[in-house]
């Protein structure tokens, strides 16, 4: 599209800066405008962390902005394009027809002890709650019913796209990103004759929500994706699927389970094809 307006977000590594400069030059030669405010498309150059930064920079514009990622490190779940594919990407931008795929986001409502109104955050990957020292104790409700009293290091609530990140390292399930659900995983729960928790990931349907009431409000650390909020007393947290969705510009399709296999198993494509033929 000749009227395409693009915002560029990148990290500061030497390779990324070089790629960003080359990408800008190619866009300008094709009359693709690069701006900061109210873009049609946000291009992230770096890794998944850079794309998270881009997402939160433009989270107020999710209804009309799309994202695309160029990776300059390890292949990520949000970064589709490699650095040597810049000409192909620019060509796709020139012929953009609004192609996109959208995924669920996490709505986090926090009631701080020193504020009357709730504070709202939105997460692309996950939100976690931990205690700075000692054991965190909190009541966990599913909708309006008490489910358990948790004791342990902390809790993580993730989106389907975030299920391959921190949640997976805690033993959470990998969830296909088209699934309308959120997942709760525990961090080192205390289980003995006195204290019991489910000690298993919980996948919550789209019409349900999770409420957490910490027993002690202070010395808790709340993280929303890569953002961390400390030293504020928290009375209550509510997690549910957000009304907004994230939209990724997809000019070609990469199967989700291929991404998972590539990221965590890493079987060479030729070996995989040979095994498939044997069957």
Q: Which residues are catalytic?
A: 48
Sign of the Cα torsion 167, 168, 172, 176 reads positive
DSSP code string of 176-245:
-TTS-EEEEEEES---SSS-----S-EEEETT--EEEEESS-SSEEEEETTEEE-S--EEEEEEEEEEEE
* N-to-C CA span, the chain: 45
Q: In degrees to the nearest 10, what's the CA dihedral of 24, 19, 49, 171?
A: 130
Q: Residue 254 in 3-state DSSP?
A: coil
Q: What angle do CA 135, 136, 137 make, to 5 degrees?
A: 115
Look at residues 128, 75, 64, 56 and name the one whose alpha carbon lies nearest to residue 263. Answer: 75
DSSP 8-state symbol, 164: G
Cβ-contact 46, 71 below 8 angstroms? yes
3-state helix, strand, coil in the chain (%, to 5): 25, 35, 40
**Cα gap 57→53, rounded to integer Å:** 6
**Within the chain, what is the greatest distance between any pair of CA atoms?**
69
């Amino acid at each position: 599209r000749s009227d395409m307006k693009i915002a560029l977000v990148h990290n500061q590594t030497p390779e990324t800066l070089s790629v960003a400069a080359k990408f800008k030059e190619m866009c300008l030669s094709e009359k693709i405008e690069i701006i900061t405010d109210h873009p049609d498309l946000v291009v992230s150059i770096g890794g998944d962390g850079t794309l998270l930064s881009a997402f939160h920079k433009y989270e107020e514009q999710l209804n009309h902005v799309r994202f695309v990622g160029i990776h300059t490190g390890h292949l990520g779940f949000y970064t589709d394009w490699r650095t040597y594919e810049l000409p192909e990407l620019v060509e796709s931008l020139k012929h953009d027809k609004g192609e996109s795929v959208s995924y669920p986001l996490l709505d986090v409502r926090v009631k701080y002890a020193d504020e009357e109104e709730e504070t709202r955050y939105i997460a692309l990957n996950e939100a976690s709650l931990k205690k700075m020292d000692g054991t965190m104790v909190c009541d966990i409700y599913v909708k309006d019913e008490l489910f358990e009293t948790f004791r342990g290091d902390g809790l993580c609530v993730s989106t389907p796209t975030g299920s391959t990140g921190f949640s997976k390292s805690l033993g959470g399930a990998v969830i296909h990103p088209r699934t309308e659900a959120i997942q709760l995983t525990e961090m080192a729960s205390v289980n003995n004759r006195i204290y019991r928790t489910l000690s298993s990931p919980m996948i919550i349907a789209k019409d349900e929500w999770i409420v957490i009431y910490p027993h002690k409000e202070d010395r808790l650390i709340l993280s929303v994706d890569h953002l961390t909020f400390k030293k504020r007393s928290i009375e209550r947290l509510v997690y549910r699927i957000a009304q907004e969705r994230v939209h990724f510009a997809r000019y070609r399709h990469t199967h989700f389970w291929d991404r998972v296999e590539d990221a965590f198993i890493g079987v060479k494509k030729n070996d995989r094809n040979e095994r498939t033929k044997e069957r």
